[in-house]
Amino acid sequence: MRNPVAVLRDTEQYGVDHRNPFNLTPLMMAVRAGNPELAETLLNSGADLTLTGSDGLTAWHTVLWQTVCDARFARQKCADLYPLVCPSSMAVQTDGSLKVIDRHHPTFFLLNLMTALFYSQLGEALSAWSAYTAKDLADNCQCFPDSILPAYRQRQRYISSLLSRHEAGRDAPGNWRLFLRLSHGKYIINPQLHLRCGGKWVAIYELLGLPELGFDIRKMDFLTDTGFLEYYGIDVQEMAEDHQNAIDVQMMEAFENIKP
């Protein structure tokens, strides 16, 4: 994205939503590069902000996970890019009926944050027999400026109440069944959630791609210390398999035990 002129020239030749070899649109690439000016130009040219990459994530999801994972991006780019690529609403199904969630509703941000962090955080959490927790989500929310996410919506207690209020399998007025509790305080997105994508309804974990969720313990920093390995005699491959089993078991049980 070092040459925006070339990007715009390509859009004239191939279309504003053409895909590169990594299945990313120019808008997705502009967001990843932290270039709000180019992103705005592409949107003014008709770029579709609802399109997803091979990972099932939109340009806005990229803003969310980069804000959490990159402090510099959070400080310098989030405030400009977020309002540009955040959709006005999203359509979901969890019980056969259509729900349109407005961008100002608190569950809109929380659901999409969990989606955006699917690859970068959920796999590691599941491998340790955890999942998304209100505390972890609150910590992530604090990466966003108050102008985007008011301070009260960043609080752990507030997030915990949202997760509980919209928990699948719980009968309560106004419950949209967006989240599934695996165990006390540990949540994932409801596997029965379907999103409107490309003119059709797609199950959330078909869109995101469960096979890519695996957490590889072999990539953890401490395991590059040969002295540590020799001293403790760790079988890294066995540990990796155990961690992957933790992911697989929890997700399998989530799909089997969810109530319609």
CA angle 24, 91, 30 (to 5 degrees): 25
Given CA atoms 205, 86, 81, 23 in this order, what sign does their dihedral have? Answer: positive
Q: In the chain, where does the domain assigned CATH 1.25.40.20 lie?
A: 1-86
Closest residue by Cα to residue 147 from 88, 81, 92 = 81
Q: What is the pLDDT of residue 229?
A: 65
Q: Where are the beta strands (DSSP E) in the chain?
A: 89-93, 98-102, 179-183, 186-189, 194-197, 200-203
Global pTM? 0.87
- Written as tens digits, the pLDDT of the chain (260 aa) is 567 888 888 999 999 999 999 999 999 999 999 999 999 999 999 999 999 999 999 999 999 999 999 999 999 999 999 999 999 999 999 878 899 999 999 999 999 999 999 999 998 899 888 999 999 999 999 999 999 999 999 999 999 999 999 999 888 888 999 999 999 999 999 999 999 987 899 999 999 988 777 766 666 666 667 776 676 676 767 877 888 888 888 888 888 766 55
Q: Is 99 left (phi over 0), alpha (psi -120 to 50) or beta?
A: beta
At the top level of CATH, the class of 1-86 is: mainly alpha
Alpha-carbon span 69 to 85, nearest angstrom: 18
